[in-house]
Amino acid sequence: MRFITGIAMAAVTLGGCQTLSFGERERTTLTTVTTTPAGARVTVEGFGECETPCTIEIDKPRNITIAKAGFDTQKFVLLPGRKKLDVVLKLSAPTTGVDAEELPEL
């Protein structure tokens, strides 16, 4: 009796792991998005938003926008199958130094 119960439980457990699909099976990928510096907003067309670092699930090619205050906005097309996207953000108006003579008096 224990043997039959064990087989029945195994069949239920294994059967529960299947994904039913009709026609073409969708392929999804978890993609980790990181930026330097961190804390950028990632907007995924038709999906939502997150703040880097974050992980998103991609089921088809998606347009994404990465933005952070003070940095240039960057746009990408993210394809299923890509596991990681690392983006180095560029300052909107980089400066090499500050001229102390042009600063206002406080």
Return the bridge partners of 63, or none.
77
Task: Locate the DSSP E strands across the chain.
Answer: 29-36, 41-44, 48-51, 54-58, 62-67, 74-78, 84-88
Length of the chain: 106
Whether the predicted model's global pTM rises above the 0.85 cut = no
pLDDT recorded at residue 27: 74
Does 98 map to a domain? no
Say how far apart CA 80 and CA 31 lie, in whole Å: 8
pLDDT in the model for residue 46: 78
Domain assignment of residue 21, yes or no: no
Q: What is the pLDDT of residue 44?
A: 93
Q: Is 104 contained in some domain?
A: no
Tokens, residue 40: 């950028």
Total structural domains within the chain = 1
From the first residue on, what is the mean pLDDT of each consecutive set of 10 residues in the chain (106 residues)?
43 34 57 96 91 92 95 94 94 69 58
Q: Is the dihedral of CA 81, 86, 89, 90 positive or negative?
A: negative
